[in-house]
Structure 1
Amino acid sequence: MAKIHRITKYIRPACVAGLFGMSNLAHAQASTVQLYGLLDSVIGNFKASGDPSSVVGMLNGGQITSFYGMRGIEDLGGGLKAGFAIESYIFVNNGQVGRFAGDGAFSRNAYVELASPYGMIRMGRQVTPLFYIMARTNPMGGSFRFSPLMTQSWIVNYGRTVLGDTGWDSSILYQSPSLGGLTFSVQATAPGNGAHDETATLVYDRGPLYLAGVIQRVRTGLGIVTPVDHQNAWYLGASYNLNFVQLYATYTHTASFDFGSTNNTYHGGVTIPIGVSALELAYSRTNTRLSLNSVSYDRNTAGVTFDYPLSKRTDVYASYMYDKLSTAGTSNSFGGGIRHRF
């Protein structure tokens, strides 16, 4: 396999397979139950452009939000399999469960599923395809500390362009089988729970090329507050492995209705292998327009991470991120951390 794929299995084991959990269950051979997780702790200085002060100290999740979970699969015969997963976020620095105060005990994933040669149906709390594909199509995976794409898309201090949560309660997902590397999926929240969110994806994943398109509409969740009625999002992402370097490019458009804001985010990045280590570089630019008062501003964010695997399960990293809002001064974040997979 190409060198970059060998490196990726050390530095991003949970960002690609762990977020969605599909590939792990689909390739299981017998009835199994597995306990697993990934713990990530970082120490450094963190500040977004426009913030009044820096946050200095030890925080959770420099490269991925720490979590633990349990999953299982049962072979029902005739090509039919049943599976489940329950996954909980955890703050490594203080032991708190969840991502924030009041977050659910198993807010990462809590679902049951049936898989057959005709596709898979999953029901319960589950990570959205948009979040999974974003993590797949940028060199820094699911990092909410140092990935320019993830911080601009999901973190309030960096302008948060995507509304709703990264996982949906009471949702139903269908994913098609692969046809020559091409799959599609649809996910929607179940009627009767007060939410009306839906998304559809089309993915091509074969050889060195990964292409994905996502359409999403959310009416509930984080950031959906009066007077916002709903938000539409469109996402295009791609990565290509050239063996000596892996390339990434994405485009995101979001439009919030009644509130009157639109965002356009352009992102590019690379992963460069250096022996067994990897150098990850990424840049994102977002233009935001508030149509209610005709205000427009830009945000430019760039990041670099050097990752060194100590083993197949443990790696150390050093990261830096530059952030500049057109209406505020320049800010810098930097830190070093340890990740361990079990």
Structure 2
Amino acid sequence: MKKVQRVMARASLRNVAGTLGVAAMLSSGLALNPVNARADSGSQVQLYGIVGTYVGSVKRSDTPQSTVLMGSGGLTTSFWGIRGKEDLGGGVSAIFALESFFQPQNGAQGRNATDPFFSRNAYVGFQGDFGQLTFGRQRNPTYTAESLINPFSSSTVFSPLVLQTFVTNYGGTIIGDTVWNNTAKYTTPDFKGFGATVIYGLGGVAGSPGVGNLGVHLNYQGHGLTAVLSGQRVRYTAAGPVGAQYAYLAGAAYDFKVVTLYGAWAMTSDVSTPTGSHTYEAGFSIPFTPADFLLAEWARTQRSGPTPATNGFRNTASLGYDHFLSKRTDIYAIYTYDKLSARPTGNTFAVGVRHTF
């Protein structure tokens, strides 16, 4: 199966490795004992990551005033990682990945104070003709699927679809993080562009073996088309009995060469409350040159619930210009509009830089 994680705005400019920053620091450590880094021709270790930041005036619809700040990440959340692969024979390899978010504007580890050290991914498993089976802390495939069907990819700062579904400050409708703990994940091999992923998170609650997360995800990539279909169930423990939320996502992107169009629909239903939501997203990206892209996206979420406080609309839209200085470094400028029911308009203006290593 093709790897479904995008780290750049365009597929042709993604997944480029280098030896800068923290990679250089860790590389020096590996160089002291090269036998451990490469025990034989079938064993390898790679250092990689993304570092980025932005400066802007930020105002959501539900905040009284704008804030001028330097923020972490921007188009992609900054992280560094180390991954390894060892050939076990018979077409089977052992694999691992350890990835940590960080905040370049202040040097802090994680996205926030509650993040563990390896907050982005921390897993070990096996890979072969059967697909890939991994265990540990892993990225939520619903979030990965969203990154494929909107022009701002996985951005938790500028993508309206991601903001309205996963970011708490924007009333994120999907319960849970973009990363799940204690998970077993199986990904099928690619079959003519088709693939599937099943992920289960063990609950770890005494006397409640069924309290855990479950996700089933389908995707297709080929002939200019990317399509995703995801469903997940998250169980949670609140003041009362165990609750459960079901979330569904369907979306697609098609590359017409002169423009790529995006569209998505997401739905959540909490059977315990009861509350729910519907989110609709549309967007496009236009490549003016191989290095210049115009990005635009709009998302609208309607919430429903038993009280006026649980009902309402939110409209968020972003317009951006992304320019690649090289295959690994780009700069961008973005405007984001945000409007919540019965609240004033929020306007955000930002410029940023991102480097892949």
TM-score, length-scaled by structure 1: 0.89
Q: What SS does the aligned partner of 2:311 have? A: strand
What do the CA deviations read for 1:227-247 (whole angstroms, capped 9, x no partner)? 771211000011111111111
Conservation of the 8 A alpha-carbon contact between 2:142 and 2:230: yes
1:203 aligns with 2:215: no
Q: Which amino acid aligns with 1:212?
A: V
**Counterpart in 1 of 2:26?**
none
Conservation of the 8 A alpha-carbon contact between 1:51 and 1:157: no
5+ residue gaps in structure 1? Answer: 15-28
Q: What SS does the aligned partner of 1:121 have? A: strand
1:273 aligns with 2:276: no
1:229 maps to which of 237, 243, 254: 243
2:337 maps to which of 298, 322, 325: 322
**Counterpart in 2 of 1:57?**
69
**Counterpart in 2 of 1:189?**
201
Distance, in Å, in 2 between the alignment partners of 1:263 and 1:295 is: 10
1:10 maps to which of 3, 8, 13: 13
**Counterpart in 1 of 2:24?**
none
Percent identical residues: 39
Give 1:55 deviation, angstroms.
2.2
Give 1:49 deviation, angstroms.
0.6
1:335 aligns with 2:350: yes
Conservation of the 8 A alpha-carbon contact between 1:232 and 1:256: yes
What do the CA deviations read for 1:101-128 (whole angstroms, capped 9, x no partner)? 1210001000012012112111000001
**Counterpart in 2 of 1:116?**
128
**Counterpart in 1 of 2:21?**
none
Distance, in Å, in 2 between the alignment partners of 1:339 and 1:31 is: 30
Question: CA separation of 1:181/1:11 partners in 2, compared to 1, >3 Å: closer, same or farther?
Answer: closer
TM-score, length-scaled by structure 2: 0.85
Distance, in Å, in 2 between the alignment partners of 1:126 and 1:218 is: 15
Question: CA separation of 1:6/1:135 partners in 2, compared to 1, >3 Å: closer, same or farther?
Answer: closer
Distance, in Å, in 1 between the alignment partners of 2:338 and 2:15 is: 24
**Counterpart in 2 of 1:31?**
43
Conservation of the 8 A alpha-carbon contact between 1:227 and 1:259: no
Distance, in Å, in 2 between the alignment partners of 1:151 and 1:64 is: 13
Conservation of the 8 A alpha-carbon contact between 2:236 and 2:242: no
Give 1:81 deviation, angstroms.
1.0
Instruction: State how many pairs are aligned.
Output: 322
Question: CA separation of 1:73/1:196 partners in 2, compared to 1, >3 Å: closer, same or farther?
Answer: same
Give 1:282 deviation, angstroms.
0.3
**Counterpart in 2 of 1:17?**
none
**Counterpart in 1 of 2:115?**
103
Q: Which has the larger radius of gyration?
A: 2
Distance, in Å, in 1 between the alignment partners of 2:205 and 2:63 is: 37
1:253 maps to which of 263, 267, 271: 267
5+ residue gaps in structure 2? Answer: 1-7, 18-40
- Give RMSD over aligned pairs: 2.2
**Counterpart in 1 of 2:36?**
none
Q: Which runs of 4+ in 1 moved over 4 A?
A: 11-14, 224-228, 292-295
